[in-house]
Amino acid sequence: MKTLINTFILLFISSIAISQNNCSKFYPLNEGTKFQITVYDHKEKPSAIIDYDVVNVRKSGGNKIGTINSVMTDGKGKQITDTSFDVSCNGEVVSVDFKSLINPQIFEQFGNMDYEITGTNMEWPNELYVGQNLPDATMDMKISMSGININMSVEITDRKVIGKETITSPAGSFNCFVITHSTDMKMGVSQRSTSKQWVTEKMGAIKSVNYDKNGKVTGSSLLTKFEG
């Protein structure tokens, strides 16, 4: 269960920072753009690879909406998830729908089940600056399995832009904003963690590090490929 929660957190924070470049100067979302995030365990060994592919960008009302396909494989190349999700942009804020970030395959260990998801979207403003506080986000999932109800909740709070740093990855070197936040996740057990994320203009999340309540690193992720 703990491994599932840690993997979910890293998958989530690797996916939240994506938008349409005509709406925001952060995180390009052009059809054909491909990028890869490698997830590492607490020993800095690769534990998963997430390949993203931007396949559809469209207009709806005053918003632009993009679809991103995501395939996650483990350290041995075995597929863990295959999903897609939408993000929307209105020219000022990029909004990521929590419901679209959850894939039933993540919960294969629970067998057949029904679930309901509610929450508030993760929002990324068009302009970032050091000292800026960002909106909180929440998600609640109710899972029903063979007459057993399981509740899962995620609260992301204390989001703040704390500085600027240069980060080097296999995809290059980037000048990044550094953003921190706290995550409270409950699914049978409760787990509180903090995360630090480095984001750059036009490419989005370059690096993320997750810490437990004692400040110990539990995992990280890094942009390892970018084509677009």
Say which amino acid occupies 82.
Answer: D
- 104-110 long-range contacts, CB within 8 A, separation 24+: 105/80, 105/81, 106/4, 106/8, 106/11, 106/80, 106/81, 107/143, 109/4, 110/143, 110/145, 110/150
**The pair of three-digit structure tokens given for residue 205, joined into one six-digit string:** 């999340």
Length of the chain: 228
pLDDT along the chain (228 residues), means of 10: 51 50 65 91 91 89 86 86 82 77 53 76 89 93 81 91 97 95 86 93 89 93 91
Say which amino acid occupies 173.
Answer: S
Q: How many CB atoms lie within 10 A of CB 62?
A: 7
pLDDT at 18: 47
Query: Residue 2 burial (CB < 10 Å; 0-12/13-18/19+)?
Result: exposed
pLDDT at 13: 54
- Torsion sign (Cα): 201, 25, 223, 38: positive
**The pair of three-digit structure tokens given for residue 9, joined into one six-digit string:** 């957190």
Under 8 Å between Cβ of 51 and 70:
yes
**The pair of three-digit structure tokens given for residue 123, joined into one six-digit string:** 């929002």
Distance between CA atoms of residues 180 and 97, nearest Å:
20
pLDDT digits (tens, 9 = 90+) for 201-226: 888 889 999 999 899 999 999 999 99
Q: Report how far apart, in Å, the C-alpha atoms of 82 and of each of 72, 79, 85, 120 are.
A: 6, 8, 11, 24
Distance between CA atoms of residues 67 and 71, nearest Å:
13
pLDDT digits (tens, 9 = 90+) for 16-37: 544 445 565 666 677 888 999 9
Query: Residue 111 burial (CB < 10 Å; 0-12/13-18/19+)?
Result: exposed
Domains of the chain as residue ranges with CATH: 2-227 (2.40.360.20)
pLDDT at 63: 86
